[in-house]
Structure 1
Amino acid sequence: MASATEPSSALAPDRQPADAVEVRSALATATSVRLEVAGAAADLIDAHAVLPDGTIVVAVDAMTRLGGLLVVARGADGAVRLDVTHLVPVPVRARVRARMTVTGRVRRLDPAFLDSCDDDAVMALLGLPPVALWTIEPGSVHVERHGAAVELPVEAYRAARPDPIAAVEAAHLARLIRQHREAAHRFAALVDPDLAATGARLVPVAVDADGLTLRAETAHRHHDVRLPFRLRVTDEATLDRELRRLLPD
C-alpha cells in the first residue's frame, strides 16, 4: 500500500475525468477562493458560485481596486486567475487533497443572463454579496496533487459535475468520526490486517459516490484505505444505507 505522502510520477490520462469532477466539487463546496488580476489578489469569502456549464461567478465591488482591475481586464484571454485548495474537511495530517488554478476571461454579468439560468443557479447567484457580479469563462484548468500536475481540457471541466455527495461530505465525515471510530478500526483491519497491530489512528477522510476512504496515521507516515460501496450513491438516503452496511452500529 503506497503512502499518501509519496508523490506519484505522473497523473495518467484516464484520471482526467476524475480530476474534472474533483475540480467541480472543490469549486462547488469551497467557502473561499483566491482571485488574482493584474498582480493584485484577494481572498473571496462566500462570494463565488459555479454555473452548470462551469462558468464561475464572483462578487467583487466595482468601486474597489480589485473591481477596477476587473473592469480593465474585461474580455482579455487569461487575464484573471482563480485558485482553490481542496482540503480534507476533518483534522488529519496532510489535509491538502489538491490545488486547482483556473485562468480565463472576465466579464460583467449581464442581468439578462438570469433568464437562461435554472432555479438552482438563480438561487446561488442571489446568495452572493450584493455587489457587482463578474463571470469568469475558463480558458485553462490546472490541477496539482502530491507534486504531480495535469492540465485539464476545458471541455472535460465543463462537462463534469460535482460529485453528488460533495455538498454533504464534511457533515457525514464528522458524524462518522463521532459515532463509528471503533467500527472503522474493525473494517480497516479487514482490508489490511497489519493495520490492527500498528496502533495507527484511523480516521474517515473522504466519502464520495463510490466509497469511503479511511486514513491510518502513525508517527511518521500515513496510508489511505478504500472501502467501495456496492452501488454508486446519488443521494443521502442511499449514502446512509451504504455507510451502515460498511460501518454498522
Structure 2
Amino acid sequence: MLAEPDRPSALADYRPSPDAIEVRSAVATCTSLRLEVAGVAADLIDAHTVLPDGTVVVAVDAMTPLGGLLVAARGSDGAVRLDFTHLVPVAVRARVRARVAVTGKIGRFDPAVLDSCDDDAVSGLLDLPPVALWAVEPDSVRVERHAATVQVPVAAYRAARPDPLAAVEAVHLSRLARLVRHDRHRMHLLASVVDPALTDSGTQLVPVAVDADGLTLRAETGYRHRDIRLPFHVRATDQTTLDQELRRLFPGVDRHLRG
C-alpha cells in the first residue's frame, strides 16, 4: 500500500480572503460609522472599536433616544446595522475604496472579555467616550466596490485581521508623496510598463494605497484616472521590510524614506 504524500495542514494553507482583510481594515481604521436600529440612523464619530474576534464595540449613551432603541433591540438577530465608508487617505478624485455593511445582534459590552483582548484592543476601548458600551456580534458582512457587492462569510471576517500597515497607511502615503515628487521620471517608467499612455507628461501620479503586499499609484489626467498596482516581492509587515521593498522599486531614495 502506498503511503499518502505529505500534505500541509489546512491551517497552514489558510490565508484570509482579501475581502475579509479589507473589511477588517475598514472597520479598524474608519473614524466614523452610521448606526441604524429600528429604522433610526445616527452617525457616530470616534465612538467605536473592534475586538480581535471581530466584535464591534460602540459607545452610545443609554439615556438617549438612540440608547433606548439599543436597549429594546438587545438579543435580536440582525437588529443593528453598521455602515462604514473606507476612504483613500489622500486628496484625489474617487476617494471611496469600499462601503462596508455589518448587521448583527447587539448587547451590553461584557468587561470579562478584556481578559482575552490584546493591548491594542484594550487601548481602543479606553479611547472610547465614557458612556455605555455595546457589543455588536456580526451575523452578516458585505463589502461593495464599484457597485459590485460581495458577501463575506462571518467566519472569514472573524478569522481575518486588518492589513499590517492599515493603521499607519496615511503616514506612509505622506512619505511616498515626497518620493513621487523626488523621482517623477522613475515613477512614470514604472507606470508605463502597465500602460504606455501613462508616459504622457500631463499624467499626475499619486500614491493612494500601500499595504503588506504592494503599492498602488493613481494616474490622473484631466479626463480620467487609473490605479496601477506595484507588487512587493515579500510581504511588508513592518517599517523595515516596507523600506526594503520601496528601495527595490525606487533605488536611491533613502533620504526620502526617513522621517
Scaled by the length of structure 2, the TM-score of the pair is 0.86
What is the Cα deviation at residue 193 of structure 1? 3.0
SS at 2:61 equivalent:
coil
Counterparts of 1:134 and 1:153, CA distance in 2: 23
Given that residues 180 and 247 in structure 1 are in contact (C-alpha distance below 8 angstroms), is that contact kept between their aligned partners in structure 2?
no
- Choose which of 222, 226, 230 in structure 1 pairs with 2:229: 226
What is the Cα deviation at residue 115 of structure 1? 2.5
SS at 1:213 equivalent:
strand
Counterparts of 2:171 and 2:112, CA distance in 1: 36
- Choose which of 190, 196, 199 in structure 1 pairs with 2:199: 196
What is residue 22 of structure 1 aligned with on the other side?
22
- Please state if 1:67 is matched with 2:67: yes
- Please state if 1:53 is matched with 2:53: yes
Counterparts of 1:216 and 1:78, CA distance in 2: 41
- Choose which of 212, 215, 218 in structure 1 pairs with 2:218: 215
Q: Which has the higher contact order (CA 8 A, sep 6+)?
A: 1
What is the Cα deviation at residue 198 of structure 1? 5.8
What is residue 31 of structure 2 aligned with on the other side?
31
Counterparts of 2:95 and 2:33, CA distance in 1: 17
What is residue 238 of structure 2 aligned with on the other side?
235
Question: Percent identity at matched positions?
Answer: 72
Q: Provide Cα deviations, 1:206-240, integer angstroms capped at 9, x if missing partner.
A: 11111101111122221111111111111112112
Counterparts of 2:208 and 2:116, CA distance in 1: 38
What is the Cα deviation at residue 45 of structure 1? 1.0
Scaled by the length of structure 1, the TM-score of the pair is 0.89
Deviating above 6 A after TM superposition, structure 1's stretches of 4 or more consecutive aligned residues are none
Look up the equivalent residue of 2:227 and give its one-letter code.
D
Look up the equivalent residue of 1:33 and give its one-letter code.
L
Structure 1: 5+ residue stretches without partners: 1-15
Given that residues 180 and 206 in structure 2 are in contact (C-alpha distance below 8 angstroms), is that contact kept between their aligned partners in structure 1?
no
What is residue 8 of structure 1 aligned with on the other side?
none
Counterparts of 1:99 and 1:31, CA distance in 2: 14
More off after superposition, 140-149 vs 173-182: 173-182
Counterparts of 1:212 and 1:184, CA distance in 2: 12
Structure 2: 5+ residue stretches without partners: 1-15, 254-259
What is residue 256 of structure 2 aligned with on the other side?
none
| RMSD (Å) for aligned C-alpha atoms | 1.5
Counterparts of 1:143 and 1:61, CA distance in 2: 28
